[in-house]
């Protein structure tokens, strides 16, 4: 619809809106952590991990899209060819989430690791806002459109003589509503535990249904299901399982992570320093003279008592 900013080919709207979405996600995460008073060490770790996960997610989005295209090409033309041609959100989401969890499992320690679920919940609305801008980019680029229709909801994209469902805009509206609900729960009702299950279940239901009117074929991974429909079924099951663990069994991921063991070298150094420091401790001075020899003693009477002063 509007592929280039000001008509300049070097300024593709898809890339610009994708960048705006990523920056918005990072900024929203910072705002939420500031409001919720997340400590600096935890924020620094998870913000850095989120940036790495986003980068890996973009790579995963490209790999999944190339895999979809390979399936479609082989299905229609019996040609087996793997090449990069775009991005797909579900591929990026799967890769990014796996990277975020694995990064926490491997690198986080102590209290930072125990804060995983809270910070992951804070990241959920950030994913939504980034996705929302990404779908606007899809609309501008004219990709991820719906099937042909004569409905009043249909729109005509450049180069296509027929009206199609603007599924990108449907998704933008859905994500905007979902974002508002999540922020209300987080800031007004001050709860974060349901955010991840709500996001997983609601997006899974929406995406499963919208696939029936999507017009861009991406092959068939499971007979009768598009690749995205199969993936969101797994997403919904994971979200339900998480909700059961949290609300039924009160099991929070990584909530019982132990504190890191002290460094052996530092511990030995501390133990060796302790006796040395004890040897240098002098007796406290209370302002009373301590007798050193017999000459320093006060004269005493034969009874052993000092003479009283008149």
From the first residue on, what is the mean pLDDT of each consecutive set of 10 residues in the chain (310 residues)?
77 93 97 97 97 95 86 73 82 96 97 97 98 95 90 87 94 98 97 97 97 78 84 97 96 94 70 58 51 47 43
Give the phi and the psi of residue 214 in degrees, each rounded to 5: -70, 140
Domain count, the chain: 1
- Name the residue range of residue 124's domain: 9-248
Residue pair 203/178 in contact by the 8 Å Cβ criterion: yes
pLDDT in the model for residue 287: 52
| Residues 16, 3: Cα–Cα separation, whole Å | 10
Pull the structure tokens for residue 202.
């609601």
Tell whether 282 is covered by a domain: no
Tell whether 87 is covered by a domain: yes
pLDDT in the model for residue 303: 41
Tell whether 295 is covered by a domain: no
Tell whether 137 is covered by a domain: yes
pLDDT in the model for residue 177: 98
């Amino acid at each position: 619809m509007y592929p280039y900013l000001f008509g300049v080919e070097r300024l593709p709207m898809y890339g610009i809106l994708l960048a705006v979405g990523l920056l918005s996600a990072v900024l929203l995460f910072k705002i939420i952590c500031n409001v919720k008073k997340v400590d600096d060490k935890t924020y620094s770790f998870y913000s850095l991990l989120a940036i790495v996960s986003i980068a890996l997610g973009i790579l995963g989005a490209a790999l999944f899209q190339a895999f979809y295209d390979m399936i479609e090409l082989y299905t229609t033309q019996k040609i087996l060819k793997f090449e990069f041609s775009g991005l797909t959100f579900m591929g990026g989401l799967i890769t990014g989430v796996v990277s975020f969890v694995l990064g926490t499992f491997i690198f986080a320690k102590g209290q930072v690791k125990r804060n995983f679920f809270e910070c992951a919940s804070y990241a959920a609305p950030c994913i939504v806002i980034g996705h929302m801008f990404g779908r606007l980019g899809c609309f501008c680029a004219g990709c991820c459109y719906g099937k042909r229709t004569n409905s009043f909801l249909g729109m005509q994209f450049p180069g296509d003589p027929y009206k199609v469902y603007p599924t990108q805009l449907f998704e933008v509206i859905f994500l905007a509503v979902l974002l508002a609900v999540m922020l209300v729960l987080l800031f007004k009702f001050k709860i974060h535990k349901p955010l991840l299950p709500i996001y997983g279940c609601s997006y899974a239901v929406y995406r499963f249904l919208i696939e029936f009117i999507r017009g861009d074929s991406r092959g068939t991974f499971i007979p009768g299901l598009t690749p995205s429909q199969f993936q969101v079924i797994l997403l919904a099951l994971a979200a339900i399982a998480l909700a059961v663990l949290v609300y039924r069994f009160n099991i929070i991921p990584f909530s019982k992570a132990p504190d890191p063991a002290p460094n052996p070298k530092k511990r030995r150094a501390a133990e060796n320093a302790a006796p040395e420091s004890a040897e240098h401790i002098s007796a406290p001075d209370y302002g009373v003279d301590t007798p050193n020899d017999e000459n320093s003693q006060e004269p005493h009477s034969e009874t052993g008592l000092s003479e009283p002063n008149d």
